[in-house]
Amino acid sequence: MATCMQIRLPLACLLIMLYCLALFLRKQRLPTKASRVFSWMGLVAVLNLCAATAMEYAVNNRALVPEGLNLVCHLVFFVTLVSWCGLLLVYLLMLIERTGGVSQRVLIMTSCVICLLVVCAELVLPLDYVDTSHGSYSSGPKVYVLYAMVMFTIVTLAVLLVRHRATLGHANGMVFAASLVVLVVALAVQMAWPHVFVTSPALVMVMIGLMVTMEDARLYVSPKTGLYNFLACSTILQEKVADSDEIELGCYLFFGEESEVMRVMKAANEQVAYKGSGLMCATFTDNVLLVLSPSRWRGADPLPDVLPALRGLGEDVRYEAHVLKLEDVHEIQQVRYVLRDVYNHFWSDCLYLDELTHLMRRQAFTMQVNAMIEREEPFSLLMIDLDDLKGINDTYGHAMGDKVLRNVARVFSQVIRSSDIACRMGGDEFAIAISGTTDEDTLHAILDRIEHGLAQIDVLPERNAPVSVSVGVRMHDPAQGGVGFADLYAQADAALYEAKRLGKGRSAFYEPTDAPAETGTSETA
C-alpha cells in the first residue's frame, strides 16, 4: 500500500493557492473582462489542485479506490487543466484587445473551440497506469492529448508575446515571458520523468506571478482616497472603446482643505458608485474625481446621480464639473491629455476665485463689472463689510474667523441670482453686483434676505450678537450718465463708510446728486 507521501506536493500547492486566492478576492479588483477571466482562472486552478491531490492518492492506491472514482478524479484534473490553459490564452487576448484596440474575438473563439474539442477527447480516450519503484503515474492517450494542449498553449503564448510585445509593454511582456518559461520547464520535466508531478507547482507559480503583478490591486487604487486611480479609469475606457460602448466621463475638481477634499471624495464614491449602477469613480489627481457613466443616462444632466450625491457633503469644499463625451476623443490614449487640459482649465479659473470663500477675486469682479458698464446694463453695486471680524479672531481664533467668512460668503451665494456677481474684495470686505436692478425696494428686499441668512449662521452659538454686515449701495443707471468702475467703487465705499458710522448691521444708499464729501445716505431698517 502506498503511503500519502505522493499527495503532499499537490496538497501543499492547494493550500498555498487557497491562501493567495482568498487575499486576492478580498481586495478591490478592477471591473474589467480580463480581471473577471483571471478570477475564473483562480477558481479553476483551485479545482484542478483539488483534483490533482485526489488523483495522486487514487493512482497510487488503486486497490482501495474504486476504478470509477479514480477515473472521475482524472477526468476532473484533465478538464480543469485544459480549461485553465484556455482561460490563460483568453486572459492574454483580453489584455491585448484592451490595450491595443485590436479585436481578438476570432482568436478567443478559436481557443474556446480547441479547448472544447480537447475536453471531448478526454472524455472518451482510454487511460493507462504505469507502476515504478518511485510510485505510479497515469499514461496513455488521455495524457498525450493533455500534453498536446499544453504545447498548443505554450506556442500560442509565444506567438502572441512576439507579435504584441509593443502593445503589452515591457513589464507585462516580462511577466508573461516568465510564465511561459515556467510552463515550458514543467512540460519538459513532466514528459521526461512522468512520475515527478510538477504540474501543480507550475500552475501555482504562474497564478501567483500574475496575481502580484498584473492583478495587483495596489496598481489600480489610490493610497490616499482608496478609490480607483487614473490607470484603472483609463483601462476601463480602453475596454469600452474596444467594445464600441458610449460612455461619458465626468471630471469634478474639488477645492478646499486636503482632509476635507479626501472626505468628500470618499463620501461621493460611496454614494455614487453603488453596485449595479454602471458608474465607477476614480481619481485623476488627489483633488479630481472621475466618474464613468453609461450611455443610457446621456441627456441634459449627463451624470444625474453624481451632482445630488455631491451636494451637501461638505460646506468647506467647492467643486467644479466638466463632462467629457467619449466620442469626442479620437484615440483613447488622448484621454489623459484631454483631462490635463480640463484640469489646467479649472485651475486657470481658480486664479480668479478666492481660495477661502470660493467667491470671485477682485480682479475678476472688476472685469465683470466693467463688461456690464460697457454693455450699458443697469445694476447696483453693494459694498459689504463684515462687522467685528477682528473681535471674532481675537476671541475665537483665526480658524473660526475664516469659518465665519465662508458662511457669510455662502449666504451671499444663496441670496443672489445666477446673473448676479459676488466677490471677496479682501479681508472682511465683499462686493455684490445686482444686475438689471436699480429699484430701491428690490434692493431692500435683497438686503433683508441677506440679514435673514446671516441670522441663521450658528458657528458661534455662545456669541450673543448675530453675525452682521454693513452695506453701502450705489445704483447705476446708464441713462443717467456713464460712470467708470473706479468712481462707482469709490461712491459705494463712501456709502459703506456712512453705514458703519451709523452702527453695526446698517445699510446706506449713495445718491449721485450729492457730492462725495457730502454723501447722502438713507438708513434702512
Residue 144 one-letter amino acid: Y
Residue 225 one-letter amino acid: T
Give me the tens of pLDDT residue by residue for the chain, a chain 525 residues long.
444 556 788 888 999 999 988 888 887 777 778 888 898 999 999 999 999 888 888 888 877 888 888 888 888 998 999 999 999 988 888 887 654 444 566 777 877 888 888 888 888 888 777 777 777 778 888 888 888 998 998 998 898 888 887 777 777 888 889 999 999 999 999 888 887 788 889 999 999 998 888 887 777 888 777 788 877 877 777 776 666 666 677 777 777 667 777 877 777 777 665 444 556 677 777 777 777 766 544 444 445 555 555 655 555 666 677 776 665 545 455 666 666 666 666 666 666 777 788 788 887 788 888 888 888 888 999 999 998 888 888 878 888 888 888 889 888 888 888 788 899 988 889 999 998 888 888 899 999 999 888 888 776 656 566 788 999 999 988 877 767 888 889 999 999 998 888 888 888 998 765 443 333 334 433
CA dist 11 to 6, 14, 48, 69, 291, Å? 9, 5, 11, 19, 44
Residue 359 one-letter amino acid: L
Helices (H), 416-520: 440-455, 485-502
CATH class of 362-518: alpha beta
Residue indicated by cell numbers 472524455: 123
Residue indicated by cell numbers 449627463: 302
Let me know: does 473 contact 510? Beta carbons within 8 Å. Answer: yes
Superfamily in which the 4-218 domain is placed by CATH: Rhodopsin 7-helix transmembrane proteins (1.20.1070.10)
How many residues belong to the chain?
525
Residue indicated by cell numbers 499537490: 10
Cell triple for residue 421? Answer: 456677481
- Kindly report the pTM of this predicted structure: 0.61
220-345: CATH architecture:
2-Layer Sandwich (3.30)
Domain boundaries, the chain: 4-218, 220-345, 362-518
Q: Which pLDDT score is estimated for 46?
A: 94
Spell out the residues 6+ positions from residue 87 whose beta carbon is closer than 8 angstroms to its own: 37, 40, 41, 44
Q: Which pLDDT score is estimated for 1?
A: 40
Let me know: does 361 contact 354? Beta carbons within 8 Å. Answer: yes
Q: Do domains 220-345 and 362-518 have the same CATH topology?
A: yes
